[in-house]
Amino acid sequence: MENSEANNSPAMKLLNSVDFTKEGLVSMVKSKDVLTDVEYEALILAYSKVGIDKDRLELDNNPVSSATSEVMKDHKAPANANEIKKKLLNNEYPQVRGYVVSSFKSIFGTSSSDCNELVKMLKEEKNDYVIKCGIKTLANEMKEPAVAEFIFSQVGNKHPAIRTQCAYAIGNSWTEGVKGAKEAVLKLMNDKDPDVQKAMYGSCGKLHDPTLVPEIVKALNDPAKVDLHSECVKSLYAMWYDYPFHKQTNKEAYDATLAYFKKTPRTDKDPAWNSVGELATQAESNYAQWRSKATYFKPEEYVAVMSDIAKDINANWLARKAAIKVIKKIGKPSDLEAVKKAIESNSNDSKKDLVIRD
């Protein structure tokens, strides 16, 4: 990292000459139209004064971003802004290195050589915050072997926030077809940390790998994993419904979704209320073409399952309400009227007004 001489640089001296507030940071800038090199570097170095949340590996609330946004409304970065950022990749403060790594795409682009340059730096990095920033920055580049190797190497990192970031990077449509992705998914699905599991189950559907469906079904059939069910169904939808793109089709994932919604007895948590209403939304420009390919999808079959959920007084009322919205979207008017009539006539239904309210 940079030696102590950095603390005596013109940019650091400028930074230390003002209060660490939004107003103070804005007051550093005296130039018009284009920032000077020193002003620009001082704004980046301001991150050195920001704390890092050790659990989330995120920066604490700070005035730097808002001050920078205000300054950049009427200023441009200096011509050699990228060179200044590259120099700061070696800064002694991880907050500064993390900022620069996070802006790496705008500096280097996404070529193989650029990715390799960042990976080379990250392999030597010891700070967890900077490593997490690197994984997030490179998440869409895992088809580059060096990037994939680096991110897979962090799947076993001791910090759960880093493993969570790995889950989001691996469960990414840009990672589809990358060798080793499924093995990493299975490991993260079984991680000891619930947030890591949630991230992996919720994002793995973007890989569009049908061999992952049985693993998702295992979780849906496990009462101990009920808190993961909405994430599981989210991934199933990504495989067979794929809103808003409507490009993917997968009968096994569709059947697994229906099986989950059919499962009884229903409870306030099962099915997860926020997993029910996906088909209430369509991307009209893509939907017709998807329907022509998704021959497994039978609207009347789906509506029948949604009707069962809507009428089930044991199900969460928000799940029931979501089911009604789906019926309204893909069913016939008579389907909707039949469900509403059944709910209204059920004297044991204490939530009927909430469920059928438009």
Asked if 162 and 135 touch (Cβ cutoff 8 Å), the reply is: yes
What is the pLDDT, as a whole number, of residue 32?
94
Model pLDDT, residue 12: 96
pLDDT over threshold 70, residue 343? yes
Residue 2: what pLDDT? 47
Inform me whether the pLDDT recorded for 203 exceeds 50: yes
7 has pLDDT over 90: no
Kindly report, residue by residue over 134-167, the tens digit of the pLDDT. Answer: 999 999 999 999 999 999 999 999 999 999 999 9
Residues 6 or more apart in contact with residue 44 via CB below 8 angstroms: 84, 85, 88, 96, 99, 100
How far is Cα 205 from Cα 216, in angstroms, rounded to an integer?
9
- Is pLDDT at 81 greater than 80 in this prediction? yes
Over residues 219-241, mean pLDDT = 97
Average pLDDT of 178-198? Answer: 98
Q: What is d(CA 306, CA 312) in angstroms, rounded to the nearest whole number?
A: 10
- The pairing of beta strand 52-53 with beta strand 75-76: unpaired
pLDDT at 1 over 70: no
What confidence category does residue 181 fall into, taking pLDDT thresholds of 50, 70 and 90?
very high
> Which percentage of the chain shows pLDDT scores above 70?
97
Q: Does residue 341 carry a pLDDT above 80? A: yes
pLDDT score at 4: 55
Spell out the residues 6+ positions from residue 10 whose beta carbon is closer than 8 angstroms to its own: 38
Tell me the C-alpha distance between 101 and 212, whole Å.
Answer: 32
The rounded distance, in Å, linking the Cα atoms of 302 and 156 is 40
**Does pLDDT of 110 surpass 80?**
no
Predicted local confidence at residue 6, as pLDDT: 61
Q: How confident is the model at residue 8 (pLDDT cuts 50, 70, 90)?
A: confident
For residue 53, give the nearest of 199, 159, 163 by alpha carbon: 159
Considering just the CA atoms, what is the radius of gyration of the chain in Å?
A: 25
**pLDDT band at residue 3 using 50, 70 and 90 as cut-offs:** very low
| pLDDT tens digits, one per residue of 61-71 | 999 999 999 99
CB neighbourhood size of 35 (10 A): 22
- The upper half-sphere exposure of residue 310, i.e. CA atoms within 13 Å in the direction of its Cβ, equals 29
pLDDT tens by residue, 292-332: 999 999 999 999 999 999 999 999 999 999 999 999 999 99
Residue 40 confidence (pLDDT)? 98
Give the mean pLDDT of 258-279: 98
Question: What's the mean pLDDT when you consider all of the chain?
Answer: 95
Chain mean position to CA 305 = 29
pTM value? 0.93
> Does residue 355 carry a pLDDT above 60?
yes
Q: Tell me the residue length of the chain.
A: 358
> Model confidence at 217, in pLDDT bands (50, 70, 90)?
very high
Helix (H) or strand (E) holding 34: strand 33-34
